[in-house]
Amino acid sequence: MSIDALLRSIEALPLSAAVRGELPGSEWLFPIIETLHVMALTVVVGSIAMMDLRLLGIASRNSPVSRLSNEVLPWTWSAWCVAAVFGTLMFMSKAHTYAANLQFQLKFACMGLAALNMLVFHLGAFRRVEHWDLDDPPRSAKLAGAISLLLWISVVFFGRWVGFTVTT
Amino acid sequence: MFRPFADWLATTAVSRTLADQPWVVPTSQSIHILAVSAVFASAFMINLRLLGVGATGRSISQLSHTLLPWMWRGLVVLLCTGIIQTLVEPVRQFVTPAFWAKMVLIALVATMTALYARAVRRNAPLWDAASSRPPRAKIFAIVSTLMWLAIIVCGRFIAYTWSMYA
């Protein structure tokens, strides 16, 4: 099955039709799903920014990095899962349109790079966090914080732009 | 009563100039969402701490001292970008009850947050010890979280309801 046929078969699902508001009583489903996506993404982006600003030495400087990470990241991941569930539902409603949308592609490229950046940080500077937990973070950690902040700001911009370029 | 004002605002030079630039609204809305992220994530962490379910490694006064300035900065950015969006599309904002509900909720929750900030600043030890913390702390945590969520609902629903009233 080609990717295009797969995307169109996703769109043909009754759930996808419901998200498009085509089933009786489902007229308000898309706005509700989008609102829940926004609620979750604000927690994702806001909590990641807390971590990034700490790594940059701008905020929460009196908190050890490891403790901040333990406090904040479980909420980041939980909220990310919520955002992903509702994001998937929106994607299903117009799968082939979103897949072909440049802003949508750039958004996911930025999230992929953010994941890579996080992996490099966790396998690198964060493994020696006990040596700099309360100090000014090392240069590689600052770089990871700056890259993460820029990428997540880009994710929000591209995400908002998807709404202006995908028309009903 | 606000409709004539909105119609007049839409004819002003500043509104027309901004409306002529197609990038203004998406850019302003993106910055608006980033500011919502700063405000809501900060409020959420403080409220989780007040409820005793999150951020327990830091005291309430310490956490509030760190996060409240970001909430105020975020609210200033929200006000500025909100004004830009209102200037470009005044009718869209003023006709829908979702906009007015949002404004009332923001005024209320900002006042509640300012009162909370003052109370913690004035008597940090009282708020930091679970035994002496006022019972209204948990009520504030639950009510203000629900209000922020309602504000997000209203904000998103301006876009989906205004054409019903215009």
Per-residue pLDDT tens over the stretch B19-43: 999 999 999 999 999 999 999 999 9
Structure tokens at A76: 């980041």
Split into its structural domains, chain B has a count of 1
Query: Chain centroid to CA B95: how far?
Result: 20
B70–A153: do the CB atoms touch at under 8 Å?
A: no
Range of the domain at B72: 2-165
- The runs of H, that is alpha helices, within A12-138 are 14-19, 29-55, 65-93, 95-100, 102-123
CB B54 within 8 A of CB A47: no
Residues listed for chain A: 168
| Chain A residues 50-89 with CB within 8 Å of chain B | 50, 59-60, 62-63, 67-68, 70-72, 75
Residue B86 pLDDT? 96
pLDDT in tens, B66-88: 999 999 999 999 999 999 999 99
pLDDT tens-place string over residues B92-146: 999 999 999 999 999 999 999 999 999 999 999 999 998 889 999 999 999 999 9
What one-character DSSP code corresponds to residue A130?
Answer: G
- pLDDT for B56 equals 84
Q: pLDDT at position B98, please?
A: 97
C-alpha R_g of chain A:
19
Distance between CA atoms of residues B160 and B166, nearest Å: 12
Q: Could you give the CA distance from residue B163 to residue B166 in angstroms, rounded to a whole number?
A: 5
Q: Which residue numbers in chain A have pLDDT < 70?
A: 168
Distance between CA B26 and CA A42 in Å, rounded? 17
- Please report residues of A whose CB lies closer than 8 A to that of B55: 71-72
Domain count, chain A: 1
State the DSSP string of B71-106: HHHHHHHHHHHHHHHHHHSHHHHHT-HHHHHHHHHH
ipTM over 0.90: yes
Question: Contact at 8 Å (CB) between A148 and A50?
Answer: no
This prediction has a pTM of 0.95
Cβ–Cβ contact B77 with A under 8 A: no
Structural domain for A33, as ranges: 3-165
Q: Which residues contact B17 (CB under 8 A, 6 or more apart)?
A: none
Residue-wise pLDDT tens digits, A118-164: 999 999 999 999 999 988 899 999 999 999 999 999 999 999 999 99
pLDDT of residue B1: 72
Determine the average pLDDT of the residues in B47-62.
92
